[in-house]
């Protein structure tokens, strides 16, 4: 088979011969041979990481390795000193590793399955001609040389060269980003194949008409496939949260190991036994490592992802939840994201009047109204010829489904039908005439005409204002045809220009009586026209987008519009939704970006208000790369295969739910409703997630202090160990877990969208947070634990210097009191951690019901630890008289008062946020 790369330059016969096919289609044997040669007509996805490998990774990360080592040391400790509970510790640590691994794996797997479910639709079908018979087959079975049959509404299954067409129009927006209908023909074309009018591309849609085409590329050989291949080559970087969690775990782990070794050496220096020092070293490490952190983070992200899904943002990668919250720049499409992707008539100029019809509709009592104002019947009468022409000179159809009209055909023509339908009863007014001929639109004439016969024959004409005005010699005013002077024509041209400056797609309408014997050709029909008026259409902004843009600006997020539309349209929509507000914004065309060096592009992107018009996919990718080099956290929206490289390159790629599979595959988030407003809601949730992670880190770190201090006391003062290592795990993986997760569900604080995005340099673990946890609240909890421990020992008759066995009832009761004291203090601490900046009274005591469930779980576990035999044996705990808990209440109240005082003083002392 010869080269087919220039197939658009060949005639129909040459193209068929070149592809060794025929107008009757391929034979069964040839199809099988070609399918074997070219493979299925599918976009090959990057080889997925096997599930078992993803699970295995959870057992081998830095955190897991640290716990494996600690577990091994625990078993060694049991071997060196049997019966001191080290075996329980070793088992518990291994359980922690497995819980972390399976929990994290399951949550990520669930998020991936949710995205996969969106793709599990019925396989698209294609109609082909094979052995001169029409067949409907799965589109992945289409082969090179197949003759595909295209009809209105079809999705093109492969790249193909047209061999027949009847008023065929296609929408190439999934490939080019421009949402306009393009007329196709079958003649040879010299130039870029992407601009060729005889080619239909895989993934694009047939807007109207019909045709046949011969396939010349399938699967990865299509234009879609080439871009998909480029997308798969882009390497994914870790998200900001992944980097932060990794930094936090390594930082805390290094501290834990350093302290463990340091105090082991101190104990050795003080003359303690090797076994005692060994237990001490393990205890220090376990006390410092937040074993419950990863499950808490994962579950928090999962809960936030579920919240986002309810707000129409489907999260594919859990870590993307927080990345949205740290976004500093959103690069957004215009069509379908900021706008409704639905052409609407905004203004008409008819009967010498300009009328805004964007609010046209029927009032409840049946009277016509525009923007809430009733229209008198006498005002409608003069515009009826204009509306009839909108209806007659039209190839679109309206279908009523569930009380709402849907458009079949060209969106612009559909908008004209909708306008006519709203103002006049087209079933009565427009059913007395029959179409007898049509002169289709051509790019040289820039108009189309339809000829109808009723009592008389009339041509209804629609086209560009310059073409229609130049061919008109009369204008209809108040039902009378008036001569059109040169001055009148100039004024009409000015009016059309005023529409265009408002970014309205402008058309002119006219009519002309046709003589019975007149030939139905453009030269005869399209002359001496009676001008009826102008119509201005626009794809209007979505409801709520303007408010969403305002929220973004208030949150310090810059919005950059990148569109395939022209400058005027881009700027008009940008102004309407609030992206640009200044008198001199930067509106740059893609061709200018192509000529720029990277430093020039960065300088341009530093402008506060900027829009890119006529931008190509390559331009979009260049803009994203430049923004990332500037240190921005970039979110990018897109729906077409052309957007996939930019979606993949961005920190957070956001695909439209109605977008192509390639775009969805490249994205991190899928917007089910295609609405920019949903992005802003997702940003809010992302910011709340980061805040909440810091809240439960603060909560978890506080309990580290009362877990560490008992071991220091044990070594330095040679007293019984106030808290065992297994009891530490009972706190970290038992009582602290549900309250920490509850903090992860805390609603976003009131001012979350009034703050600037967090810097890439910001850390989860800050000096103020460490001081609050280790220097303020933690020591109070440590004092409470030690006080409870000493109280029980003293009441039991213990004297200083007396060593107690690990199984001694007095020792067991004393350590239990220390454990319960820490848990009681953490109950109060969780309330304070609900906001690191605002008083608990300001945020509301009862806004987060899950915190109270967490507190209830702590109370239940206190009862279980002190009453259930199996837990008493495993943890080394004993029953405690309820009145002993009253000893801890003053410490708990002190924690509450101190934390509220801290929050009160912070802004007054101009102390930086935690």
Per-residue pLDDT tens for 563-607? 878 888 888 899 999 999 988 888 999 889 999 999 999 999 999
Average pLDDT over residues 545-550: 92
- Residues serving a catalytic function are 333
Cβ neighbours around 742 below 10 Å, total? 27
Q: Which two tokens stand for residue 232?
A: 């798969």
Radius of gyration of the chain (CA): 36
SS3 state of residue 187: coil
Q: Residue 517: is its pLDDT beyond 70? A: yes
Q: Which residue has the higher pLDDT, 676 or 284?
A: 676
Q: What is the mean pLDDT of residues 369-377?
A: 53
- Res. 367: pLDDT tops 60: no
Write the CB contacts of 508 (distance below 8 Å, at least 6 apart in sequence). 462, 463, 464, 465, 467, 468, 469, 492, 496, 531, 532, 533, 534, 535
pLDDT tens digits, 34-81: 999 888 988 776 666 677 787 888 888 777 887 888 788 778 877 877
Backbone angles phi, psi at 778, to 5 degrees: -55, -50
Q: Which tokens in the block code for residue 367?
A: 């009277």
- Higher-scoring residue by pLDDT: 5, 2: 5
Please, where in the chain does CATH 3.40.1110.10 lie? Answer: 344-538
Q: Identify the pLDDT of residue 142.
A: 95
Looking at residue 612, what is its pLDDT? 94
Residue 220 has pLDDT above 90, yes or no: no
Q: Which two tokens stand for residue 560?
A: 């950059």
State yes or no: pLDDT of 770 exceeds 50.
yes
299-308+690-913 CATH:
1.20.1110.10
Above 70 in pLDDT, residue 370? no
Per-residue CA distances from 821 to 352, 400, 547, 792 (Å): 85, 69, 49, 12
Q: What mean pLDDT do residues 339-349 have?
A: 88
Rounded CA-CA distance 371/686 in Å is 38
Residue pLDDT, tens place only, 87-143? 877 887 788 788 778 877 775 665 555 445 444 433 478 999 999 999 999 998 999
pLDDT one-digit tens code per residue, 525-538: 999 999 999 999 98
Q: What is the pLDDT of residues 407-438, one digit of tens each?
A: 877 888 999 998 998 888 887 778 778 999 99
In our burial notation (b when 16+ CB lie closer than 10 A, e otherwise), range 26-39 reads beeebbeebbeebe
Q: What angle do CA 894, 706, 712 make, to 5 degrees?
A: 130
| Domain 7-41+126-231 classification at class level | mainly beta
The pLDDT tens digits for 829-888 are 999 999 998 899 888 888 899 999 999 999 999 999 999 999 999 899 999 999 999 999
Give yes or no for a contact between 593 and 601, defined as CB atoms under 8 angstroms apart: yes
Task: Classify residue 300 as exposed, middle or buried by CB count within 10 Å of its CB (0-12, 13-18, 19+).
Answer: buried
What 3-state class would DSSP assign to 280? helix
pLDDT class of 2 with cuts at 50, 70, 90 = very low
Report how far residue 329's alpha carbon sits from residue 634's, in angstroms, rounded to the nearest whole number. Answer: 5
Burial class (CB in 10 A: 0-12, 13-18, 19+), 40: middle
Q: Which carries the bigger pLDDT value, residue 803 or residue 7? A: 7
* In 725-775, alpha helices (H): 725-730, 737-743, 767-770
Task: Answer whether CATH 3.40.50.1000 is correct for domain 313-338+543-674.
Answer: yes
Give the residue among 4, 426, 810, 200 at the shortest CA–CA distance from 417: 426
Q: Which helix (H) or strand (E) holds 340?
A: none
The CATH homologous superfamily of the domain defined by 344-538: Calcium-transporting ATPase, cytoplasmic domain N (3.40.1110.10)
Is 900 within 8 Å of 839 (Cβ atoms)? yes
DSSP string over 223-245 = HHHHHHHHHHHSPPPPPHHHHHH
| pLDDT bucket at 149, cuts 50 / 70 / 90 | very high
630, 602 Cβ separation under 8 angstroms: yes
Average pLDDT over residues 269-276: 75
Buried-exposed string 475-498: b where 16+ CB fall within 10 A, e elsewhere: bbeeeeeeebeeebbeebeebbeb
Name, in order, each residue with C-beta under 8 angstroms of 426's C-beta and a sequence gap of 6 or more.
391, 420
């Amino acid at each position: 088979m010869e080269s087919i790369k220039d197939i658009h330059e060949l005639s129909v016969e040459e193209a068929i011969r070149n592809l060794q096919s025929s107008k009757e289609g391929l034979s069964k044997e040839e199809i099988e041979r070609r399918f074997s040669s070219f493979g299925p007509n599918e976009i090959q996805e990057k080889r997925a990481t096997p599930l078992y490998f993803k699970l295995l990774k959870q057992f081998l990360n830095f955190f897991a390795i640290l716990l494996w080592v600690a577990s091994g040391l625990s078993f060694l400790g049991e071997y060196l000193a049997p019966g001191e509970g080290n075996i329980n510790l070793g088992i518990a640590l291994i359980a922690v590793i497995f819980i972390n691994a399976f929990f994290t794996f399951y949550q990520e797997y669930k998020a991936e399955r949710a995205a996969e479910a969106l793709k599990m639709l019925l396989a698209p079908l294609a109609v082909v001609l094979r052995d001169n018979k029409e067949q409907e087959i799965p589109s992945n079975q289409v082969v090179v040389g197949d003759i595909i049959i295209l009809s209105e509404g079809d999705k093109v299954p492969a790249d193909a060269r047209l061999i027949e067409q009847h008023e065929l129009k296609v929408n190439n927006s999934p490939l080019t980003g421009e949402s306009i209908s393009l007329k196709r023909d079958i003649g040879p074309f010299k130039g870029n194949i992407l601009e060729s009018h005889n080619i239909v591309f895989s993934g694009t849609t047939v807007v109207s008409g019909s045709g046949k085409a011969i396939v010349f590329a399938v699967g990865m050989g299509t234009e879609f496939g080439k871009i998909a291949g480029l997308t798969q080559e882009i390497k994914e970087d870790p998200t900001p949260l992944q980097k932060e969690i990794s930094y936090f775990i390594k930082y805390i782990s290094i501290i834990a190991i350093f302290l463990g070794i340091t105090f082991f050496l101190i104990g050795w220096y003080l003359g303690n036994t090797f076994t005692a020092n060994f237990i001490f070293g393990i205890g220090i490490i376990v006390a410092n490592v937040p074993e419950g952190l990863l499950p808490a983070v994962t579950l928090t992200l999962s809960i936030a992802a579920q919240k986002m899904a309810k707000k129409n943002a489907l999260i594919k990668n859990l870590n993307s939840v927080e990345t949205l919250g740290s976004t500093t720049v959103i690069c957004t499409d215009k069509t379908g994201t900021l706008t409704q992707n639905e052409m609407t008539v905004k203004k008409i100029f008819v009967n010498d009047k300009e009328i805004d019809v964007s609010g046209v509709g029927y009032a409840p009592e049946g009277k016509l109204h525009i923007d809430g104002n009733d229209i008198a019947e006498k005002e409608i009468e003069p515009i009826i010829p204009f509306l009839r022409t909108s209806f007659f000179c039209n190839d679109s159809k309206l279908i009523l489904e569930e009380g709402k009209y849907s458009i079949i055909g060209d969106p612009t023509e559909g908008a004209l039908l909708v306008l006519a339908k709203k103002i006049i009863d087209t079933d009565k007014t427009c059913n007395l005439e029959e179409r007898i001929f049509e002169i289709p639109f051509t790019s040289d004439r820039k108009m189309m005409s339809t000829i109808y016969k009723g009592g008389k024959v009339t041509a209804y004409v629609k086209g560009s204002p310059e073409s229609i005005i130049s061919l008109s010699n009369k204008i209809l005013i108040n039902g009378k045809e008036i001569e059109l002077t040169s001055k009148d024509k100039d004024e009409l041209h000015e009016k059309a220009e005023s529409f265009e400056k408002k970014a309205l797609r402008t058309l002119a309408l006219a009519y002309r009586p046709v003589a019975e014997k007149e030939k139905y050709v453009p030269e005869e029909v399209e002359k001496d026209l009676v001008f009826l008026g102008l119509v201005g259409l626009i794809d209007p902004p979505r409801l709520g987008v303007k408010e969403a843009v305002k929220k973004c600006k208030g949150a310090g997020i810059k919005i950059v519009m990148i569109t395939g539309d022209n400058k005027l349209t881009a700027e008009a929509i940008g102004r309407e939704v609030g992206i640009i507000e200044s008198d001199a914004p930067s509106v740059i065309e893609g061709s200018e970006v192509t000529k720029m060096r990277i430093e020039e592009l960065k300088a341009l992107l530093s402008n506060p208000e900027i829009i890119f018009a006529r931008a190509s996919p390559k331009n979009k990718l260049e803009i994203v790369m430049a923004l990332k080099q500037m240190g921005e956290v970039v979110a990018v929206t897109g729906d077409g295969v052309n957007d996939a490289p930019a979606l993949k390159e961005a920190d957070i790629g956001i695909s439209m739910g109605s977008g192509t599979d390639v775009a969805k595959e490249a994205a991190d988030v899928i917007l089910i409703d295609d609405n920019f407003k949903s992005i802003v809601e997702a940003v809010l949730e992302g910011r709340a997630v980061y805040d909440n992670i810091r809240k439960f880190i603060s909560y978890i770190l506080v309990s580290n202090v009362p877990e560490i201090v008992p071991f220091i006391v044990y070594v330095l003062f040679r007293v019984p160990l106030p808290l065992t290592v297994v009891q530490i795990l009972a706190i970290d993986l038992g009582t602290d877990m549900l309250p920490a997760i509850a903090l992860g569900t805390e609603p976003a604080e009131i001012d979350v969208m009034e703050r600037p995005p967090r810097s890439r340099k910001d850390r989860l673990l800050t000096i103020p947070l460490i001081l609050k946890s280790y220097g303020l609240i933690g020591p109070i909890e440590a004092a409470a634990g030690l006080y409870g421990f000493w109280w029980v020992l003293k009441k039991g008759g213990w004297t200083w210097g007396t060593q107690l066995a690990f199984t001694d009832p007095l020792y067991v009761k004393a350590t239990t009191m220390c454990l319960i004291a820490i848990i009681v203090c953490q109950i109060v601490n969780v309330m304070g951690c609900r906001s690191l900046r605002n008083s608990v009274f300001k945020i509301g005591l009862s806004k987060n019901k899950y915190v109270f469930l967490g507190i209830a779980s702590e109370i239940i576990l206190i009862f279980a630890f002190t009453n259930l035999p199996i837990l008493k044996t495993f943890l080394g705990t004993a029953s405690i008289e309820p009145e002993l808990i009253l000893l801890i209440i003053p410490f708990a109240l002190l924690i509450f008062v101190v934390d509220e005082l801290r929050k009160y003083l912070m802004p007054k002392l101009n102390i930086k946020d935690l």
